[in-house]
Every structure is written in C-alpha cells, then in structure tokens.
C-alpha cells in the first residue's frame, strides 16, 4: 500500500503548460460568447414583451371603446364628414373621445365630458398601458348605427407596434343623430 502511494506521488504525468493555457483560452472564448449574447437575448425579450403588451393594450382599448359606444345615443356629427363630435353614453353623460389634448400632446385615448370643466380622463388606465405605451386613433365616424374608429393603433416612443386597424362598434340602440 505504501509503495503504491509513493509511485503515485512520484509519477511525473500531468498537463503541460501549453495544455493548461489552451484550456483557459477556450474557457475565455466561451465566456465571452455567452456574455456578449446576454444583451442580445435581453433585447429580443423586451421586444417580444412590448409586442405582447401592445396586443393586450389594443384588446383592452377595443373593449373600453365598445363599452362606451355600444349604448350611445344622441350622436352629434360634422355634416358632410360623419365625424363624431360627441355622443351621450349609457350613464347619460355627453362626451367626446379624443386622442390628443388641446396642446396636441398624445397620452392615449381620453373621455372628455362636454360642458364640464374637469380634465379629460383616460379611457384605459395607465396601469393597462405599460411604460410609454398608449393607444390612439385618427378619427371616429358614425354611419347607419355603427361607429368606426379609424386607424386605431398602439404607440410607444413614436413607434407603432402593429398595423393600424379600423374598429367598428354597432350600437345596440338606434341613436338619434343630432
């Protein structure tokens, strides 16, 4: 037993300096590749999450628009264009849906109560619109018992996250055009 241990200790076999340096170099290269790939993978992750959040926000916005417009009455439109100026919602309030405030700033679609001095309120809460993401539209028209929200889209930092859509809401009641 003692002889076997001595033979092991006296054995000169092992890795040469060149072999150890080559192994360290390979490990460094593999580590560099992995570290360089992390930001790229994170960037792809954030893009996928933004796309998913944009789809969720668009769906939530469509639901909120349907809730406001489906029971609308007393729709006021611009003559010749059918562009909606205001309508009376289910609760009996006259309101306008706006995509820009008076200063031209876009923060998302807002409900503005006609005749009220109150600030317009967001149609979809800030919690539903993540970070700098919001929904907006070009105009709303009304024809034959249906509202059409033209060019409804989701925007974040000036970047549109999907093709704009025209969203149609048929009214449950036949509103009277004012």
Percent with pLDDT over 90 in the chain: 29
| Reported pTM | 0.76
Is the model's pLDDT at 101 over the cut of 90? no
Has residue 108 been placed in a domain?
yes
pLDDT value of position 144: 85
| Banded pLDDT at 175 (limits 50, 70, 90) | low
Has residue 19 been placed in a domain?
no
User: What integer is the mean pLDDT of 124-143?
Assistant: 85
User: What integer is the mean pLDDT of 100-117?
Assistant: 80
Has residue 48 been placed in a domain?
yes
More confident residue, 145 or 10: 145
Has residue 57 been placed in a domain?
yes
User: What integer is the mean pLDDT of 108-118?
Assistant: 83
pLDDT value of position 90: 83
Q: What are residue 110's DSSP bridge partners? A: 98, 122
Structure tokens at 134: 């919001």
| Banded pLDDT at 125 (limits 50, 70, 90) | confident
Has residue 25 been placed in a domain?
no
Has residue 137 been placed in a domain?
yes
Number of domains in the chain: 1
Has residue 70 been placed in a domain?
yes
Domain of 117, in residue numbers:
41-170
Q: Which residues contact 176 (CB under 8 A, 6 or more apart)?
A: 73, 74, 75
Has residue 88 been placed in a domain?
yes
């Amino acid at each position: 037993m003692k002889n076997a241990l001595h033979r092991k200790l006296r054995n000169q076999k092992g890795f040469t300096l060149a072999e150890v340096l080559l192994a360290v170099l390979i490990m460094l290269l593999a580590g560099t590749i992995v570290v360089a790939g992390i930001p790229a993978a994170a960037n792809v992750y954030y893009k996928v999450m933004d796309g998913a959040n944009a789809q969720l926000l668009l769906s939530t916005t469509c639901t909120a628009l349907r809730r406001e417009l489906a029971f609308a009455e007393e729709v006021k439109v611009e003559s010749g264009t059918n562009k909606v100026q205001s309508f009376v919602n289910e609760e009996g309030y006259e309101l306008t849906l706006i995509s820009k405030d008076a200063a031209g700033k876009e923060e998302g679609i807002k409900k503005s109560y006609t005749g009220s001095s109150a600030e317009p309120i967001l149609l979809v809460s800030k919690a539903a619109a993540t970070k700098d993401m919001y929904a907006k539209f070009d105009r709303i028209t009304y024809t034959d018992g249906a509202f059409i929200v033209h060019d409804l889209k989701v925007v974040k930092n000036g970047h549109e996250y999907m093709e704009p859509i025209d969203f149609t809401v048929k009214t449950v009641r036949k509103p009277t055009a004012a």
